[in-house]
A and B are shown apart, each in its own frame.
Chain A
Amino acid sequence: DSGVTQTPKHLITATGQRVTLRCSPRSGDLSVYWYQQSLDQGLQFLIQYYNGEERAKGNILERFSAQQFPDLHSELNLSSLELGDSALYFCASSVAATNEKLFFGSGTQLSVL
């Protein structure tokens, strides 16, 4: 158990809908990262937050947004969902903003039908 908690584990929804994925980092970790894993793109970095502030952006679509709350948990919001958004979404956390060791949650499997 990495100590990073992601909910829900599975999510099935329809095109055009909006979903929210939730992540609780390991105790003491200030930095949260979101990654998307799909068969064709592999593991892609989406966005990073550090102590509530956006730190870095990767290949995140405009339809996607995220935030980190004062209690350090994070949410990834995906809207106007398309079939191609079906993927495994990982949250990871680390102590500092520059990640020497990154610990991943078990992921949320999103299926858009």
Chain B
Amino acid sequence: AQKITQTQPGMFVQEKEAVTLDCTYDTSDPSYGLFWYKQPSSGEMIFLIYQGSYDQQNATEGRYSLNFQKARKSANLVISASQLGDSAMYFCAMREGSYQLTFGKGTKLSVIP
């Protein structure tokens, strides 16, 4: 079974609009971390945001926020006020306990002017 599921292979959003990228995860470990990374066409992986399983509040980093719904095992990324530079692949990832990151297959976001 997939540990990280990103059901949206591709998405379009109008510039200046908000967009939500979906991520669901599967783990029985009570201690885990959830990550979002951005990969622009240039190829590098850019860390965006992190949410720990014991964190009480949703993580926020500038225009990025993580909508963490523990009972539903979902960790959606919300990008507010989209910009053209947000066009990229976005990967959700999970760390269980002390193990390494497991990545989802990614969502390609295209921002339309």
Contacts and interface: CB of A to CB of B under 8 A. Distances in A.
Interface of A: 2, 33, 42-43, 45, 48, 56, 58, 88, 90, 92, 97-107, 109
Contacts, number: 52
Given A2-B44, A106-B44, A45 B101 contact: yes
B100 A105 contact: no
A109 B33 contact: no
B47 A43 contact: no
Contact of A42 (B35, B47, B106): B106
A4 to B, nearest CB: 9
Contact of A104 (B45, B52, B100): B45
B98 interface: yes
Contacts of A45: 100-102
Contacts of B105: 42
Contacts of A48: 100
26 contacts: A2-B44, A33-B100, A42-B103, A42-B104, A43-B93, A45-B101, A90-B45, A97-B98, A98-B95, A98-B97, A98-B98, A99-B95, A99-B100, A100-B33, A100-B50, A101-B50, A102-B47, A102-B101, A104-B37, A104-B47, A105-B44, A106-B44, A107-B43, A107-B44, A107-B45, A109-B43
A53 B105 CA distance: 30
Contacts of B45: 90, 92, 104, 107
Q: How large is the interface on B (under 10, 10 to 19, 20 to 34, 35 or more residues)?
A: 20 to 34
Contacts of B97: 98
A93 B37 CA distance: 14
Nearest to A56: B100
A104 B44 contact: yes
Nearest to B37: A104
B47 A101 contact: yes
B76 to A, nearest CB: 19
A104 B42 CA distance: 13
B90 interface: no
Nearest to A98: B98
